[in-house]
Each structure stands twice: as C-alpha cells, then as structure tokens.
C-alpha cells in the first residue's frame, strides 16, 4: 500500500498513522498543530503552503503601498544586496501556538531565512531574501495566516508603540461592578424588611446579575483564554483553577437568581475578579518599572571617535548626532546607520544577521548599525542618532545566547503543573465531604480552595528577585544580558582574567621608546598604522606618543595576538610582538612592549609600564577563598614577578597566550567539571568569553562590543567583582526563601479553605496579597543585601 504524505508536514510514512477529519498525520505533534490552526481559523496556512502565489481576496491591493521604495526604506531595519531584515508589530500574538507558527514561516515561504518572535513586545523579526521576495509579500504571508501586522506612520518614524491600557479598563469595570453589587447587596446582608426594599429585591438581584456579565465575559476573559489554551495544549497552567472558580460562582449565582431560590454570590464573584486584577496590575507596574529602569540605565559604557575640525575626540555614544563624521577602527562596532566616506571596506554583519560572510562596501554606500569593521579604519557620516534599543537587541539576539535553561524556570513549570492537579483534587474531595456533612458550605469551600491555593506567588519569586538584581547591578554599572546570567554567576567556582586592559588600566600607563630615532615620515606612517587598531597598547601609543600627521595606508591587517601590518607609500610597516616583526635582539626581553619594523628591518620598541587597577590586590584576595584563579595573558612574562607579589599564591599564570590558547584553556577546565567566569576586554578574548559559563567584558573608553559576552562591566567598578559574585549567590537564597514563604502560605490557606472557615471573597483578597507579599519580600530583601555595594 502506497503511503500518503502527512497533511501537516508532508512526510511520507508507512507506519500506523493518526487520522482526524479524514486527514492523516505522521505523528501526534503534527496532529496537535493542525488542531491548533483549525481551532483558531488558521487553516489557510495549508492553502498558502500549497498555493504560495495566491493572495486572499480580502487583502488584495491592501498593501500596494509597500511597493513604494521610500516607504519600505523607512521600515527596513537592515538591507543588503541579497536580504532584508524588518521588525513588525503583530497584536494578535498571544500564546505558544502563535510563536510556533510564526517561527516556522520558512515552511510556508522558502524565501524566509529566519523569523524570531519577541512575545512580550508582540513583534516578529523577519530575515528574508529580498532578491526573490519583498516586504509586501512577507506582510501578505503573515496576513494570510491570521497575523496581520500593524503598520502605521509611527513605524516609519521609529516611535514607541502606544501603551496597552487593557488592564486599566478591565480593572475599572471590575471595580465599578464590585462597588455597585456590594451596594445592591446591603438589604440581603442586613435582612432589612422595609417595604420598598422587599418589593424591589428581585430587581436588585437581576441588576447584580447584569453587573456581573462584563466582569465575567470581559474583565476575567484573560483567565478563561489562558486556561483554554493551556488545556487545548494538554497543559494545566495556573489559570485553570481560577477560571474554574469564576465559572462555578457565576453559574451557581445565575441559577439562583433565574430560578428565584437565592441571591447568589455576585459580590464574591466581582470581588474575586477585582482583587485578582488588582494583584496583576501591581505586578505589571512593578515589573515594568524594574525593566524600564534597567533599560534606561544599562547603556553600554562605550565611546566613539568623532572627527571635528580635523581633530579626533572620544565622545559618549549617545552624543552622536546626524551629520557627524565618525572614525571606525578595525574590529569596532558601527554604532548607527550612515554613509561610508572612505573608499571601500569589508563589514561583518553576523551580529545582525547571523551570517559570517563579510560584505564589501564602497564610498557612498549606506552602512548599518551593528556591523563590525574588518579592514582598518574608515570614516562615515551619521544618518541617525544611536538607538540604544537597537544595540540592546543585538546583545540579546537569540543567535548569541548560551543554551542554559534556568533551573528556576523549570522548577516553576513543574510546580505549576502538579500544584494545579493537586489543588483541583483537594477542591473536589473537600466539596464531596461537605456535601454530606453541610451542603451549605460545599460551594463556598470548593471556590475558596481553587482561589486560595495558587502557585502564582511561586512563579513570581524568581523573575522579581532577578529582575530587581538586574536593576541594582545596572545602577552600579554592571550590565547583564539577562536575568539568567545571575543564576550562572552563582554557580561559578573558577575565575579567569586577561591581563592587558583587564587588570591593568589603559588610562595611566607610561610609554617609553627605545631604538633608532624615528623620522617624521616613520612617525607619520606608524601613527597611521596604529590609528586603525583597537588594541589598548596601540591606542596608548597613538594617543600619547606620536606627534605627526596621518597618511593613507593600504593592505592593513590585524593578526590577533600578534600585531598589525600595512603598507605606506608601498613600503611595509609592522608593529606588534618581537617574533611578529622578526626582532632577534629583543627576543629575551620580558617587558610589555610593542616592537616596530619598517621594510622588515627592526627599528625599536615602545615599552609600556602597566598601571594596575586600584584595588586589584584586594579583589584577588577576596576571590581566593571561594574560587580557583588564573591569569591568561597575551603578553610576555615581563611582569610575572610583580604579579606573583600581588596575586594569591596558588594563582595559575600563563603568558604569550593566543586567542585559541585561551579558548582551549577554558574548554579543558570545563571538561573537568569547572564552572568558569572569564573576565576580558573583549578584543582577543571573544572566543574565551563565548565559551565560558559567564563572560564579562571590561569596558573603559573604547568602542569594542561583542555579543559573546554575558555582561559588561564599567572598568571603574572592577574592584566590585567579588561583591557582584556574592550578591548573585545571595539572590538565589532569596528565591529559595520566597519559595518556602509561598509554600507555607498555601498550606495555611488550604487548611482554612478546606475546613470551611474561608469565604471566596476573603480568599480573593488573600490570593493577590500573597503575590504582592512575595514581590515586596523579594524587592526589599534584594535592596537590603545590595547595600553591601559601596
């Protein structure tokens, strides 16, 4: 018998198949996805896959304006000869099913290279082949499967999207209904027998039912939607018992009013929803505050070189304005969109696209923020001011995130699932008990159990603790990529440091020259060579020693761990290690030096007297007790003896380390079970930073940025590293304490609910209060422990 292809994925299979609605599927997963698409009226997914050229009638011509290149250019985030990247706002993203569909768009259209969903912001970042497709086709594709993007003038001006105020409306409606229902319930509460009240009590009951309708069907809708989606995906999330409790209260109360057997529990119902929303509102406001404060303060402490009146000056990256002329050195990040002024160059856009192939650009071409300059120094004219949100997006791009799932997230997911099963079981058993012993309490007990015992507080412990710590670290100029880095920092048992630019400062070094006297032409050539390099030693010599005009150079090359070379007026020049410039007479010299040769003839060396950062000795003394320590330096052993006097006795020290040597060292110790912290300057350490469990890049005054690092530390806060590590460990303790507090609360609450001593409305008040108490506890505790940072 010839096998048929799976209706969803097209895979031929001779095994036993799953059939639904006369459609066959190769596995349960494909069947589940089909059901999700079908239930959400998205079966045009399959029509589009089979007929990719077809455009639904309802959107024909709607997006013709996207054929206008001037409009498209304002929407496009990145553009090259072969592909484009655009971020679109899609308000209909609401669950994990949406994410799955949107991140598998390449199955619908082969011209889609990749798609990444940002669920909190409801955006999708599309990377597609612009030669074979267009932005219009991408928008039509999204609209065809039920995810129509919202495109407005704001998108072309790159303004912030309007704030979603739904929570305000729902909270207002629930509060209004709760107040009125309580007012209408007074005659029932006090059993007033006054004639007019007795005559119109049925009207009051129907009014209470009327007021409860928007509460249940609008204000509480998120709980029902979330519970429904969870159940359809065969998951028991924390909203299932809440939705069940609201449903039971509403159905029972409505039945009492309709059949004229009682007043119902509309006051408890509206109070429950109001207090649940109030708790959610408080959580949102608190977390948004923490996120906003971090986003606002966690700018990368990097500078950029601006050329003004033929003079070079280092300025803060956010002082860059449209029309400025910038100097971008080798391996520097292009901080903003602009026009290339220099003749030509190669740019690495892998930070943006994930594609490592360098792109050649010529004078007059547009170059985009996020690219890394690969061929010497170039000049560019700025087209727009620097976007902090764009730089942050580069740093947190999923392409560069390490595969380390948070253990607290896994724990919370597991607790939520089994906790929900346990709560529903307890509610059913307790209700069954009271039906036999006191039926009047049965409904109240059932609802109170469902409401009071909720793992919401447990789910809040980790994000609020780590979120507040991110804010605190940011205030102290220690900028972490995400909250998970804190958890990784708490597990570190070995710390590895680079030397030059990491434990030494680039600002206070003394530079001396030894060798043949340099001519004006040689000084000019050397300064022009070093102008292209971003190495701390090159920058030091360039800024402080050489007093000469710069000239144009050709064939520039920077060989990591060795040096730089180029041609000036067709004459070769090299600067770097003694072996790199073929220096025989200096082979045994152990100073930290930059050697120079012209036309392969050794000329002399610049000796740099390193100035170590303040408090470096105290830092290592603090780390000695809890961590293994190692120094990996690309320099020679010139300062080994001095380092032995300031570092702990058991510190491992390795010199003349190439980038691949550092990477190999990290891998070797990880294979032995070590959790490594790598601290470097982000230049020759990118491989080691990426390989380590946590990589911290020290930033001083240079525009070097790598997504490989997990954190950026302002060099002036180097002496705080031991305290940052200590706070990370204490943060994990705070989370565990919050878990315990939440568990105690739930056990106590369950006792009173099961024994019938807790009414639903009191449970509704206590439930959000438990969540708020966890937020308050974690926030206050983390603020208290952070006072150790001075």
SS (H, E, C) 648-677: CCCCEEECCCCHHHHHHHHHHHHHCCCCEE
Residue 213: which pLDDT band, with cuts at 50, 70 and 90? very high
Of the pLDDT bands very low, low, confident and very high (cuts 50, 70, 90), residue 359 is confident
- Asked if the model's pLDDT at residue 428 lies above 50, the reply is yes
Q: Regarding predicted confidence, which is higher, 66 or 214? A: 214
For 598, the enclosing helix (H) or strand (E) is strand 593-598
Q: How far apart are CA 146 and CA 148, in angstroms?
A: 6
Highest mean pLDDT among 424-428, 508-512, 757-761 belongs to: 424-428
Domain formed by 479-502+614-721, architecture: 3-Layer(aba) Sandwich (3.40)
Q: Which fold has domain 303-394?
A: 2.70.150
Q: Give, in order, the Cα–Cα distances in Å from 286 to each of 223, 311, 438, 524.
A: 21, 47, 43, 57
The mean per-residue pLDDT over the stretch 679-688 comes to 75
φ and ψ at 328, to 5 degrees?
Answer: -110, 115
Work out the angle at residue 334's Cα, subtended by the Cα atoms of residues 332 and 335, and round it to the nearest 5 degrees: 115
Residues 560 and 688: their CA atoms lie apart, in Å, by 13
For residues 516-544, give the mean pLDDT: 82
Q: Which residues contact residue 222 at a Cβ distance below 8 angstroms, ignoring those fewer than 6 apart?
A: 170, 239
Q: Where are the beta strands (DSSP E) in 437-503?
A: 478-480, 494-497
Instruction: Give the mean pLDDT of 174-192.
Output: 77
**CATH number of this structure's domain 40-157:** 3.30.70.100
The pLDDT of residue 214: 94
Q: Judge whether 656 and 676 are in contact, CB under 8 Å.
A: no
* Annotated domain spans of the chain: 1-39, 40-157, 172-269, 303-394, 479-502+614-721, 505-612
Q: What is the 3-state secondary structure (H, E, C) of 342-389?
A: CCEEEEECHHHHCCCCCEEEECCCEECCCCEECCCCEEEEECCCCCHH
Tell me the mean pLDDT in the region 511-532. Answer: 85
CA distances (Å), 211 to each of 188, 204, 250, in order?
Answer: 17, 10, 12
Distance CA 616, CA 718 (A): 8
Average of pLDDT values for 724-734?
92
pLDDT band at 236 (very low <50, low <70, confident <90, very high): low
Average pLDDT over residues 10-21: 56
Taking all residues of the chain, what is their mean pLDDT, rounded to a whole number? 76
Percent of the chain with pLDDT over 90: 6
User: Of 346, 772, 329, which is closest to residue 534 (Cα–Cα)?
Assistant: 329
Please, are residues 112 and 134 in contact by the beta-carbon 8 Å criterion?
A: no
| CATH architecture group of domain 505-612 | 3-Layer(aba) Sandwich (3.40)
Question: Please, are residues 338 and 367 in contact by the beta-carbon 8 Å criterion?
Answer: yes
| Residue whose pair of structure tokens reads 């204490």 in the numeric block | 730
pLDDT band per the 50, 70, 90 thresholds, residue 723:
very high
The dihedrals phi and psi of 43, each to the nearest 5 degrees, come to -70, -10
Integer-rounded Cα Rg, in Å, for the chain is: 32
Better pLDDT: 235 or 517? 517
User: Taking 80 as the threshold, does the pLDDT of residue 229 lie above it?
Assistant: no
């Amino acid at each position: 018998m010839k096998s048929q292809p799976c209706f969803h994925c097209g895979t031929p299979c001779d095994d036993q198949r799953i059939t639904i609605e006369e459609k066959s599927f190769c596995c349960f997963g494909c069947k589940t996805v089909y059901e999700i698409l079908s239930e959400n009226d998205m079966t045009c997914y399959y029509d589009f896959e089979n007929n990719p050229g077809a455009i639904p009638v309802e959107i024909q011509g709607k997006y013709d304006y996207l054929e206008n290149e001037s409009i498209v250019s304002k929407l496009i985030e990145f553009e090259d000869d072969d592909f484009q990247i655009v971020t679109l706002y899609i308000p209909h993203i609401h669950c994990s099913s949406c994410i799955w569909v949107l991140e598998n768009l390449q199955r619908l259209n082969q011209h889609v290279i990749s798609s990444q969903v940002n669920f909190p912001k409801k955006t999708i970042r599309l990377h597609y082949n612009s030669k074979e497709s267009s932005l219009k086709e991408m928008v039509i594709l999204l609209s065809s499967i039920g995810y129509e993007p919202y495109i407005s003038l704001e998108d072309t001006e790159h303004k912030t999207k309007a704030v979603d105020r739904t929570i305000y409306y729902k909270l207002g409606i629930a509060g209004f209904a709760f107040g009125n229902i309580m007012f209408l319930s007074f005659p029932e509460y006090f059993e007033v027998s006054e004639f007019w009240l007795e005559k119109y009590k049925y009207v009051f009951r129907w009014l209470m039912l009327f007021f409860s309708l928007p509460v249940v069907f609008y204000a509480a809708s998120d709980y029902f939607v979330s519970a429904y989606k969870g159940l359809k995906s065969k998951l028991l999330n924390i909203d299932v018992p809440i939705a069940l409790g609201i449903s039971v209260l509403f159905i029972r109360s409505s039945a009492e009013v309709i059949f004229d057997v009682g007043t119902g529990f509309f006051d408890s119902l509206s109070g429950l929803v109001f207090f649940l929303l109030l708790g959610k509102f408080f959580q949102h406001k608190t977390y948004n505050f923490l996120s906003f404060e971090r986003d606002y303060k966690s700018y990368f402490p990097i500078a950029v070189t601006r050329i003004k009146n033929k003079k070079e000056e280092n300025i803060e990256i956010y002082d860059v304005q449209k029309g400025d002329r910038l100097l971008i050195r080798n391996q520097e990040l292009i901080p903003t969109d602009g026009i290339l002024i220099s003749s030509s160059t190669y740019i690495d856009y892998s930070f943006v696209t994930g594609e490592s192939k360098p792109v050649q650009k010529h004078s007059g071409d547009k170059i985009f923020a996020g690219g890394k300059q690969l061929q010497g120094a170039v000049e560019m004219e700025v087209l727009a001011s620097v976007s902090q949100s764009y730089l942050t997006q580069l740093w947190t791009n999923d392409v560069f995130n390490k595969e380390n799932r948070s253990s607290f997230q896994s724990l919370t997911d597991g607790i939520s699932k089994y906790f929900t099963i346990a709560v529903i079981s307890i509610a059913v058993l307790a209700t069954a008990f009271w039906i036999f012993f006191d039926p009047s309490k049965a409904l109240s007990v059932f609802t109170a159990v469902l409401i009071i015992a909720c793992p919401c507080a447990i789910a809040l412990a980790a994000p609020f603790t780590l979120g507040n710590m991110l804010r605190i670290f940011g205030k102290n100029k220690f900028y972490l990529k995400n909250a998970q880095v804190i958890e990784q920092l708490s597990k570190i048992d070995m710390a590895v440091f680079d030397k030059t630019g990491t434990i030494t400062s680039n600002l206070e070094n003394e530079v001396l020259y030894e060798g043949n006297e340099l001519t004006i032409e040689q000084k000019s050539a050397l300064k022009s060579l070093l102008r292209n390099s971003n190495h701390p030693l090159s920058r030091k010599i360039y800024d402080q020693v050489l007093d000469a005009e710069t000239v144009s150079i050709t064939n520039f090359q920077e060989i990591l761990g060795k040096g730089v070379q180029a041609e000036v007026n067709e004459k070769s020049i090299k600067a770097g290690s003694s072996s790199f410039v073929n220096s025989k007479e200096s082979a045994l010299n152990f100073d930290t030096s930059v050697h120079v040769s012209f036309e392969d003839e050794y000329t002399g060396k610049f000796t740099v007297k390193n100035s170590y950062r303040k408090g470096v000795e105290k830092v290592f003394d603090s780390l000695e007790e809890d961590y293994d320590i190692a120094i990996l330096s690309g320099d020679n052993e010139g300062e080994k003896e001095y380092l032995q006097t300031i570092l702990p006795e058991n510190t491992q020290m390795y010199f003349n380390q190439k980038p691949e040597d550092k990477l190999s060292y990290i891998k070797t110790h990880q294979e032995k079970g070590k959790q490594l912290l790598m601290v470097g300057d982000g230049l020759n350490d990118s491989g080691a930073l990426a390989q380590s469990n946590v990589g911290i890049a020290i930033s001083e005054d240079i525009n070097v940025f790598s997504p490989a690092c997990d954190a950026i530390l302002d060099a002036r806060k180097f002496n705080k590293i031991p305290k940052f590590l200590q706070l990370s460990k204490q943060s994990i303790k705070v989370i565990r304490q919050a878990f315990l507090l939440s568990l105690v609360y739930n056990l106590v609450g369950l006792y009173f609910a099961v024994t019938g001593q807790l009414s639903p409305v009191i449970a509704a008040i206590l439930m959000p209060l438990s969540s708020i108490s966890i937020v308050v506890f974690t926030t206050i505790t983390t603020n208290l422990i952070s006072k150790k940072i001075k």
